[in-house]
Amino acid sequence: MSALNAKALDQNTLTSIPALLNQADAILIGAGAGLSAAAGINYLDQDKFAQVFPGWVKKGFTAQYQLMGYPHWTQLEQWGYYKAHLEYVYFGQDDNQLYRQLRRAVADKDYFVMTSNVDGLFYKNGFDKNRFYSPQGDYGKIQCTTPCSDQVWDIRPFLDQMEAYYDADEQVLTDEIAIPRCPNCGGEMFIHARIDGSFIDSVHEPERIKLIDWLNQVADKQLLLLDLGSGFNTPTVIRMPMEQITMSLPNANLIRVNLDHAEVPAKLATKAIGIEADLNEFIEVLTAS
């Protein structure tokens, strides 16, 4: 598929962004990992890793990315790490400047959010959870890995139960009694995030239906799609749907912003622009407009 090269955040682009935003009746935000990375949740950031996970630095690790899908640990090590990880990534981000700035930019526009991120940063920073589709999961939930049912639970009580058995220096659990077990069947549990076939999709079906209903409601309106930080790790979740929606709706326009892979398909030449820029800079421009 041919593609149009991304533009820099130059004066011409700066002029076009406010016009598109002001003309929009509705905004669909599609967010990938690049948005949370720009907001400070960067799984490659070695300095932040050393600050937040000193126990794991002692074990030879240098970044969170190394522990994604890591197979060579015990459950005590795994859950000790994820306790620290969730306290930082999920429960420690209630006042994230970039997400709050994005919320101010949207202002009183009719909006909806779909994201591949599971960190909850949108609804923790002013976005309406009823206008939110998160098909890859939610760090605030935990599920049975069998799974024995379609049920998910709030993860906070499970983390609280670990506290008495948590070695804060080594960032590991010290007793298997603290490892989460399914309240229904007693089986193993894991964070409600899509990592394998055990993921419970049905939890997010109501969100998907709300998104479809919303798109039908705004189908004839001026719709601005903001594709923020999506790449090619899971392009079928955000990147491709944003392109398909732009193509299918007559009054839709797409702005794609990323430091990498900001290009847009040539077939969307009259409806889309790609901007190669830091998302902090772009969202500052949005807020100013």
185 is in an annotated binding site: yes
| pLDDT at site 256 | 96
Confidence of residue 15 (pLDDT cuts 50, 70, 90): confident
Measured torsion, CA atoms of residues 228, 231, 233, 238, in degrees rounded to the nearest 10: 50
Tell me which of 188 and 94 has the higher pLDDT: 188
Q: What is the pLDDT of residue 93?
A: 87
User: CA-CA distance, 205 to 135, in Å (whole number)?
Assistant: 8
Per-residue 3-state assignment (H helix, E strand, C coil) for 21-67: HHHCCEEEEEECHHHHHHCCCCCCCHHHHHHHCHHHHCCCCCCHHHH
pLDDT greater than 70 at residue 11: no
Indicate if the pLDDT at residue 163 is higher than 60.
Answer: yes
Proportion of the chain above pLDDT 70, given as a percent = 96
Consult the annotation and say whether 182 binds a ligand.
yes
The whole-number average pLDDT for the span 157-169 is 98
Q: Which residues pair with 47 in a beta bridge?
A: none
Could you tell me if 124 and 93 are in contact, meaning their C-beta atoms sit under 8 angstroms apart? yes
User: Between these two residues, 228 and 6, which has the higher pLDDT value?
Assistant: 228
Model confidence over 203-218: pLDDT tens digits? 999 999 999 999 999 9
Flag whether 115 is marked binding: no
Q: Is the pLDDT of residue 73 over 90?
A: yes
- In three-state secondary structure terms, 170 is coil
**In the chain, what's the furthest Cα-to-Cα distance?**
60
In this structure, are residues 44 and 65 in contact, taking their beta carbons and an 8 Å threshold?
A: yes
Whole-number percent of the chain with pLDDT over 90:
88
The mean pLDDT value for 177-197 works out to 98
Q: Edge-to-edge strands of the sheet including 137-144?
A: 152-154, 137-144, 189-193
Q: Strand, helix or coil at 91?
A: coil
Q: Is the pLDDT of residue 14 over 80?
A: no
The string of pLDDT tens digits covering residues 264-283 is 999 999 999 999 999 999 99
**Residue indicated by tokens 């790449």:** 231
Question: pLDDT digit string (tens) for 95-107?
Answer: 899 999 999 999 8
Q: Tell me the fold of 1-41+95-136+201-289.
A: Rossmann fold (3.40.50)
Could you tell me the two tokens for 42?
Answer: 């960067």
State the chain's mean pLDDT as an integer: 94
144 is in an annotated binding site: yes
pLDDT, residue 217, reads: 98
pLDDT of residue 4: 60
Q: Give pairs for 39-47: CB < 8 Å, separation 24+.
A: 39/93, 39/96, 39/97, 39/98, 39/99, 39/121, 40/96, 40/98, 41/89, 41/93, 41/119, 41/121, 43/68
What gap in Å lies between CA 210 and CA 237, rounded to an integer?
A: 16
pLDDT greater than 90 at residue 285: no
